[in-house]
Structure 1
Amino acid sequence: MKRSPHHFSVEMTEDQAHLRILQTTDLHAQVFPYDYYNDRPVEGLGLAHTAQVIAAARKATPNTVLLDNGDMLQGSALGDYMAYDRGMRLGDLHPVIAAMNVLGYDAATLGNHEFNYGLPFLQAAVAGARFPVVCANALVKRGDDVAGDVRLLPPYVLLDRMMTCAGGAVHPIKIGVLGLLPPQIVTWDETVLRGAIQSRDMVETAAALIPEMRAAGADVVIVLAHSGIGEARHYDGMENAARPLAQLPGVDALLAGHTHMLFPSAQFAGVAGIDVARGTVDGTPTAMAGFWGSHLGVVDLKLGREAGPNGGRWLVLGGGGQALPVAKGVKHVPAKPVQRVLKAAQKEHDATLDYMRFPVGATARPLHSYFALIKDCMTVQIVCRAQRRYVAAQLAGTAHEGLPLLSAAAPFKVGGWAGPDHYTDIPAGPMYQRSVADLYCFPNTICAMRLRGADILEWLERSAAAFHRIERGKQDQPLLNDAFPSYNFDVILGLTYQIDPTQPARYSTLGALVDDQAHRITDLRFQEKPIDLTAEFVVATNNYRASTYGALCGAGSARVVFETSVTVRNVLLNEIAAASPLTIQPEANWRFAPMPDTSLVFETSPKAAPFVAALDAPVLERLGETEAGFVRYRVRG
């Protein structure tokens, strides 16, 4: 079907119709507006809050479909409780699916995190859905081409609906919904999938299936892609492929996700081919709805009836996307949770609270991540130490036992797009199951890689892309690059090094090598001596990093020498229980290189204030708060 170049307008002639496509994405098992890690309610988040905005959006037009973009089953304590404590068998109803059933979703696709708990869990969960779950490129067997692929789920669905025109006439329509996800699922969750799933490139898959959908009668094609808005140019195996997907012929609307960003928003302002005002990506109406139910994605399409021998098929006349913030509610009334959605998950929510409140140990000092991006952080080092101790025991008696053992981990909760409350903050005193989940919020499994010193240097250079380039002698320069995800800011314990952000970044925020002459890592040492770049090391880490290491910073000579289905969180739990009360002090690991006569601006939570005075370095000077609720501090270089 051709797409008219006209902008979307709510003004309709009698024979035209308005189709409203509603989207949630990256819910991450956040049904209740509740912070399980700090054991308190949180306003404006969770599907039960989003439900109020969904109802208002549906009320505004008679023609709506509600779709979910994936990553629905994992990401909160509720999701982990269902996977690790309660479990799922065929016939059970997952609370997230129960809540989605109540809201009457029309279709959904899978995200990469749906595979974290293994295939039997995933299959049992989606079996309870009273709506089609589609995914075109998660394969049971990969064929010679797309036509020969054997899929885990149907690739698309054709929704038969009735469209009400502005003049009141009602006509049938077929709405095609195609599901896609990052092909990297086969490596990210290799430990639990064990070769049971294969994958194919998203753009290759969509290009082959969209004509098939059209031939089957689809009047409108919606690409439901669990993929972010990345580069415009396509390459095979692309993770964030929304732009090449938007460029495909026959795509009428695109729903993106995965990166937890918003579209349309200022995050994409000024990017060639992206129109934030219209809500289009390369001419295609697009929406991306944040995460945890924070926003409702909306794509509005204006449809007309095509005259002539085609028998009145629908023509898309224009359209655009938007992302409605749930916290603002409806008509300036703050969002309130919808009770029937809460009721659908109430039993499992209560059981999750009991699970998270179980005592596991104690800490003699507070643990927090407020400064994890500017100095050594105990919340990261505790994970590193637990990993190192566990891997050392597992490698005893093997050929790798005598190699130097390092450990890598990243801070997961350091504000960013999740806001000023998204930090780890565990007070001195008792620790609970929720404390362990707060320290390590992903279900990653532990593993180890064998690397050369040169590989480790590249790994740290990749982490150093977290910072903007700083100009020496200039004052109050923003330090953190918001486009860099904190879970890629790995620190490696067992080494000491400096990061010099006055140098250009060697890697982009997406992990591409952009300057092979650039180096931000300086004075890299092992046991107080400059590291031998040819020497071999073992690095304890997690399965996600082991699978993405090559893509992020070159494969080098890296190879996995140990892997298991044991989660890092369980390793951490055992460490805390054995060492309680925790009295450990941070060890020197990394710092910024000196930057004389230079100052930086660093943002963190207002709740960091009581801990500022105790910092030995760097010295922070409070500058004030941002509109988003963060506190700005000046950091002297």
Structure 2
Amino acid sequence: MTSLILPMTRRSLLGGIAATSAIVLVHPFSAKAAPNQAHLRLMETTDIHVNVMPYDYYADKPNDTLGLARTASIIDGIRAEAKNSMLLDNGDLLQGNPMGDYMAYKKGMKEGDLHPVMKAMNVLGYDCGTLGNHEFNYGLDFMFNTLKGANFPIVCANLTKGKLAEDPKKDELFFSPYVIVNKTIRDGADQMHEIKVGIIGFVPPQIMVWDAKNLEGKAQTRDIVETAKAWVPVMKEDGADIVIALSHSGIDGSGQTDRMENASLYLAGVDGIDAVFTGHQHLVFPGPKDFVGVPGADAARGTLLGKPAVMAGFWGSHMGLIDLLLERDGSKWKVADFTTEARPIYHRDENKKVVADVQSKQQVVDAVKSEHDATLEYVRTPVGKTSAPLYSYFALVADDPSVQIVSNAQSWYIKDMLKEGQYKDFAVLSAAAPFKAGGRGGPDYYTDVPAGDIAIKNVADLYLYPNTVQAVLITGEQVKNWLEMSAGMFLQVEEGAKDAPLLNPDFPSYNYDVIDGVTYEIDLSKPARYDKDGKAVNPDSSRIVNLQFGGKPIDPAQKFVVATNNYRAGGGGNFPEIAADKVIFVAPDTNRDVIVRYIVDQGTINPSADANWKFMPLAGTTAVFETGPKGRDYASAVKGAKIEDDGDGEGGFAKYRLVL
């Protein structure tokens, strides 16, 4: 067998290839370790969220960007690149897609049952894992029954059974705070040695808010850094040569605070910790996009306060790797050097099309086949009802039921998430946009779900993208500017014009946000204040008129919480003053999951639009637009707008007249 040393920044031939070919890509640490040195490769999965199979159950079709079965296929090859390795998981296993809901709500977990995630992980031979915040979503009994099936230890140091003790080391814990793994490793001279690897785990303290209904009176959490400072010295006294932190917590360089949600940066600063595995934020570290410029974080080398660290994406999208070159220091081992990498399971070609770099590991596929098939049956059956049709044919010209239900679900969720803490008394608004609104997608590219039973997969028709929910805190003036930007969807229409074109073909529908919780009108006789890129082309123009909150003109200085998605909250669409610095809440849940939960909670949803916005009347004026011909079934039910059928349009579209 030939050994080939390549730099670790490459897009490698991934493990599924390497493990079966005559060439193994050996890490330099394994190839060059001296007799008193050894290479230990640490592998991380994180935020799997029940995505074992490469399948989008919402859209009911395969997806090459996700799935532990895909990540699993590179493990053998990644192990072959190193003389010594360990496989670890960083939490958020049990909730996040319909297979998780099927196991919790439909099948249930009885004593002795084996969850499909545990089946898959046991096939792969994990060495240790920790908890994520989503482990608690279905209650403590479900979590404990599921985790009993793991053939590896689960550690968590900051989750207690009740009242906190004065000393963290005296807390009564649900899980062992740490584990010492006695591992036999091969050194550079092929001699075998014992090393004691200490692994400690942490969960976000915020689970006490997010899952209060499951945890209140039963559990409590401690600050992550405080807990680490108490337990790491104990691990050293217990003989740990090196200490690895499994931190289901993200990276935030804004300054350390008590009970910090994303505390991994400051966790890395705890004396005695040698490496940190992070997660929770569904981002990638190291890498060229996420966390660049965060003080204390080196996104190129993959360090937090100088310590090696990795965040391996989400849903199995990456395998996180920390490679340690260990060196004998008397009778103990210490870290002499390291490299880090987040290795993906797919890439995008020059046309942005997803290309799978690996195929699924058949042992994993076989292990979960029965649950996968059962989940498919589950998502194809109703989970609730809708009292009215959900359609988007007129989403750009009137308040719309498909957008309304997304807004309702977002408001419901954010109000619950913020019911405790500093934002509990702020008014909550909700911003949502139509995703399927014709255009380049063609005359059939619209949401169309009839009244009656609604299945989980119908949610994909409501919300196309795997966005996550976020909330921003902004002023009444900024709410108005947000709406002014959205109003760029429309061309200027002179009063008295006959059949003037209405829609701006250059403005994407996913940037046409409707904000619920306020009422307003749009004056089409005024030019748009902003162009599609957010540039103020007519800074003195004001299309948004009669903007009211609570039946009164909105106070420009009043603060509002606005529920939205991570794309918009992070600056997507270039909306004025809407950027990451306004974000006050980053949800661990996707918008799709929130909609499903809302439907389950309500039983029967009422998506009827409340007509909180409309066009300002313009005497003797009409405008024309195109939509799908199936919209004729719903035109008469549109609220807040007078719409007339104007025959056939081009390319299979139907033409309509809006009477202003």
| CA separation of 1:426 and 1:178: change in aligned 2, threshold 3 A | farther
Q: Structure 2: how far apart are the matches of 1:388 and 1:248?
A: 39
- 1:501 deviation in Å? 9.7
Does structure 2 conserve the Cα–Cα contact (< 8 Å) formed by 1:280 and 1:320?
Answer: no
Structure 2 portions without partners, runs of 5+: 1-8, 10-26, 349-354, 414-425, 465-470, 487-506, 523-527, 532-543, 565-581, 586-595, 616-627, 641-660
Q: Structure 2: how far apart are the matches of 1:126 and 1:260?
A: 23
| Alignment partner of 1:324 out of 343, 347, 351 | 343
| CA separation of 1:465 and 1:117: change in aligned 2, threshold 3 A | farther
For 1:236, the aligned partner's letter is: D
- 1:281 deviation in Å? 1.4
Q: Structure 2: how far apart are the matches of 1:60 and 1:388?
A: 49
- 1:358 deviation in Å? 1.2
Does structure 1 conserve the Cα–Cα contact (< 8 Å) formed by 2:57 and 2:457?
Answer: no
Map 1:145-184 to 2 at 5 A: 145-184=167-206
- 1:240 deviation in Å? 0.4
Does structure 1 conserve the Cα–Cα contact (< 8 Å) formed by 2:404 and 2:609?
Answer: no
Structure 1 portions without partners, runs of 5+: 1-6, 391-404, 442-454, 471-478, 481-485, 503-520, 542-550, 555-565, 592-607, 617-637
1:259 and 2:281 are equivalent in the alignment: yes
Q: Which residue of 2 aligns with 1:382?
A: 405
* Partner SS state of residue 143, structure 1: coil
- 1:51 deviation in Å? 0.3
| CA separation of 1:303 and 1:383: change in aligned 2, threshold 3 A | same
Q: Which residue of 2 aligns with 1:339?
A: 362
Greater Cα radius of gyration, structure 1 or 2: 2
Q: Which residue of 1 aligns with 2:87?
A: 66
Map 1:597-636 to 2 at 5 A: none
Q: Structure 2: how far apart are the matches of 1:38 and 1:177?
A: 38
| Alignment partner of 1:135 out of 132, 152, 156 | 156
Q: Which residue of 1 aligns with 2:381?
A: 358
Q: Which residue of 1 aligns with 2:604?
A: 574
Does structure 1 conserve the Cα–Cα contact (< 8 Å) formed by 2:326 and 2:334?
Answer: yes
Q: Structure 1: how far apart are the matches of 2:126 and 2:62?
A: 26
1:192 and 2:211 are equivalent in the alignment: no
Q: Structure 2: how far apart are the matches of 1:529 and 1:64?
A: 64
1:525 and 2:544 are equivalent in the alignment: no
Q: Structure 2: how far apart are the matches of 1:28 and 1:86?
A: 17
* Partner SS state of residue 267, structure 2: helix
Q: Which residue of 1 aligns with 2:24?
A: none
For 1:570, the aligned partner's letter is: V
* Partner SS state of residue 309, structure 2: strand
Does structure 1 conserve the Cα–Cα contact (< 8 Å) formed by 2:517 and 2:549?
Answer: no
* Partner SS state of residue 74, structure 2: helix
- 1:235 deviation in Å? 1.3
* Partner SS state of residue 82, structure 1: helix
1:125 and 2:141 are equivalent in the alignment: no
| CA separation of 1:500 and 1:247: change in aligned 2, threshold 3 A | farther
Map 1:290-309 to 2 at 5 A: 290-307=313-330
Q: Structure 1: how far apart are the matches of 2:395 and 2:310?
A: 32
| CA separation of 1:530 and 1:281: change in aligned 2, threshold 3 A | same
For 1:326, the aligned partner's letter is: I
- 1:62 deviation in Å? 2.3
| CA separation of 1:19 and 1:46: change in aligned 2, threshold 3 A | same
* Partner SS state of residue 28, structure 1: coil
* Partner SS state of residue 105, structure 2: helix
Does structure 2 conserve the Cα–Cα contact (< 8 Å) formed by 1:256 and 1:288?
Answer: yes
Q: Which residue of 2 aligns with 1:219?
A: 241
Map 1:101-120 to 2 at 5 A: 101-120=122-141
Count of paired positions = 488
| CA separation of 1:63 and 1:429: change in aligned 2, threshold 3 A | same
Deviations 1:514-572 (A, max 9, x none): xxxxxxx997513653147999x99999xxxxxxxxx9769xxxxxxxxxxx9523145
- 1:357 deviation in Å? 0.6
- 1:92 deviation in Å? 1.4
| Alignment partner of 1:285 out of 308, 315, 333 | 308
* Partner SS state of residue 113, structure 1: helix
* Partner SS state of residue 368, structure 2: helix
Q: Which residue of 1 aligns with 2:62?
A: 41
Give the % identical residues.
41
Q: Structure 1: how far apart are the matches of 2:79 and 2:63?
A: 25
Of structures 1 and 2, the one scoring higher in RCO (CA 8 A, sep 6+) is 1
Does structure 2 conserve the Cα–Cα contact (< 8 Å) formed by 1:21 and 1:65?
Answer: yes
- 1:406 deviation in Å? 8.7
* Partner SS state of residue 151, structure 1: coil
| CA separation of 1:321 and 1:369: change in aligned 2, threshold 3 A | farther
Deviations 1:74-111 (A, max 9, x none): 00000011111111123211111111111111111001
Q: Structure 1: how far apart are the matches of 2:584 and 2:356?
A: 47
Q: Structure 1: how far apart are the matches of 2:271 and 2:80?
A: 32
Deviations 1:289-326 (A, max 9, x none): 0000000000011001113xxxx211110113110011
Q: Which residue of 2 aligns with 1:493?
A: 517
Deviations 1:348-389 (A, max 9, x none): 111111111114667756459999xxx977545215558999
Map 1:185-584 to 2 at 5 A: 185-231=207-253, 233-266=255-288, 267-307=290-330, 312-327=331-346, 334-359=357-382, 364=389, 366=391, 378-385=401-408, 426-428=447-449, 432-435=454-457, 437-438=459-460, 491-493=515-517, 495-496=519-520, 525-526=548-549, 529-531=552-554, 567-575=597-605, 584=608
Q: Structure 2: how far apart are the matches of 1:96 and 1:114?
A: 12
Deviations 1:123-162 (A, max 9, x none): 1111111100111111112211212211111111111110
Deviation larger for 233-242 or 70-79: 233-242
Map 1:51-62 to 2 at 5 A: 51-62=72-83
| CA separation of 1:410 and 1:14: change in aligned 2, threshold 3 A | farther
Does structure 2 conserve the Cα–Cα contact (< 8 Å) formed by 1:134 and 1:155?
Answer: yes
* Partner SS state of residue 260, structure 2: coil
**TM-score of the two chains, using structure 2 as the length reference:** 0.64
| CA separation of 1:302 and 1:337: change in aligned 2, threshold 3 A | same
Q: Which residue of 2 aligns with 1:587?
A: 611
Q: Structure 1: how far apart are the matches of 2:130 and 2:97?
A: 19
Q: Structure 1: how far apart are the matches of 2:400 and 2:35?
A: 63
Q: Which residue of 2 aligns with 1:626?
A: none
Q: Structure 1: how far apart are the matches of 2:458 and 2:39?
A: 48
For 1:318, the aligned partner's letter is: D
| CA separation of 1:231 and 1:63: change in aligned 2, threshold 3 A | same
For 2:598, the aligned partner's letter is: V
For 1:189, the aligned partner's letter is: D
For 1:350, the aligned partner's letter is: D
Does structure 1 conserve the Cα–Cα contact (< 8 Å) formed by 2:391 and 2:400?
Answer: no
* Partner SS state of residue 130, structure 1: coil
* Partner SS state of residue 209, structure 1: helix
For 1:352, the aligned partner's letter is: T
Does structure 1 conserve the Cα–Cα contact (< 8 Å) formed by 2:36 and 2:188?
Answer: yes
| CA separation of 1:407 and 1:105: change in aligned 2, threshold 3 A | same
- 1:437 deviation in Å? 4.9
**TM-score of the two chains, using structure 1 as the length reference:** 0.66
* Partner SS state of residue 342, structure 2: strand
Q: Which residue of 2 aligns with 1:18?
A: 39
Q: Which residue of 2 aligns with 1:95?
A: 116
Q: Structure 1: how far apart are the matches of 2:529 and 2:392?
A: 27
Q: Structure 2: how far apart are the matches of 1:425 and 1:193?
A: 41
